[in-house]
Amino acid sequence: MPVPPVAIARRRIVAKFFAADAVRPEDAIIFEPRRFLQERVFERFLDAGIVKRAGNGKYWIDVPAYGAYRRSLRKRALMGVGIALGAGAAILAIGN
Q: pTM higher than 0.75, yes or no? A: no
pLDDT, tens digit, for every residue of 33-86? 989 999 999 999 999 999 999 988 999 999 999 999 988 876 666 666 666 667
Alpha-carbon distance 16 to 14, whole Å?
A: 5
* Residue 91, pLDDT score: 73
The residue range of the domain holding 14 is 5-95
Residue 42: what residue type? Answer: F
Cβ atoms 59, 52 nearer than 8 A: yes
**Mean pLDDT to the nearest integer, 85-90:** 67
* Residue 59, pLDDT score: 98
Cβ atoms 30, 16 nearer than 8 A: no
Domain count, the chain: 1
Which of residues 96 and 13 earns the better pLDDT score? 13
| pLDDT tier for residue 93 given thresholds of 50, 70 and 90 | confident
